[in-house]
Amino acid sequence: MGFLSPLRRNDAPPGYVTPPFPSLFWEPSNVKWNLYYLGDIWRFTLLWTLILFGLFHLGAAGTALLMQLGRRKSNWKFLWTVPLLYALVAGVEAIMAGSVVGLVVGATYIAGHFTMSTWIPFVWGWVNVLVLIVSSFRISGGL
């Protein structure tokens, strides 16, 4: 990640190694993983967003296929493309949303000299999914 290398924190602990993905720690364990570099924050956010978008889009594709169960056999001729199309759309949306959110949140944490837990990119992945779900509904004002 050469293009992100100038945006590194100087206060990472000596001997710091980037934790492996996903590295979500549980409080009773004594191992706590933190992210210090923008490239790592971006990568974790992007990966979580890709995973969660993929799960939700493939769930929607599965629902669309289940709704076609009682239909004619000729309808199934091209329905196998539905999960592929949904997966492609999920990937494009996740790359855009995960990159923007990961870079903005990472730059904010680095500028504020905060330590980012590995849970934060996971939570922002869910925020991205929830924004996608809410934005899929039509908003009609009653004013």
Per the CB < 8 A criterion, the answer to whether 53 and 129 are in contact is yes
The tens digit of pLDDT for each residue in 42-79 reads 999 999 999 999 999 999 999 988 888 777 777 677 88
The tens digit of pLDDT for each residue in 113-140 reads 888 888 899 999 999 999 999 888 877 6
Per the CB < 8 A criterion, the answer to whether 89 and 57 are in contact is yes
Q: Say what the pLDDT of residue 122 is.
A: 94
Rounded average pLDDT over 6-34: 74
Residues 6+ apart with CB under 8 A from 49: 94, 97, 98, 101, 102, 124, 125, 128, 129
pLDDT band at residue 141 under the 50/70/90 scheme: low
Segment (H or E) for 7 = none
Preceding amide of 6 cis, omega within 30: no
Distance CA 102, CA 95 (A): 10
81, 84, 88, 94 alpha-carbon torsion, rounded to 10°: 130
Q: Say what the pLDDT of residue 123 is.
A: 94
Rounded average pLDDT over 6-23: 73
This prediction has a pTM of 0.82
Rounded average pLDDT over 102-116: 89
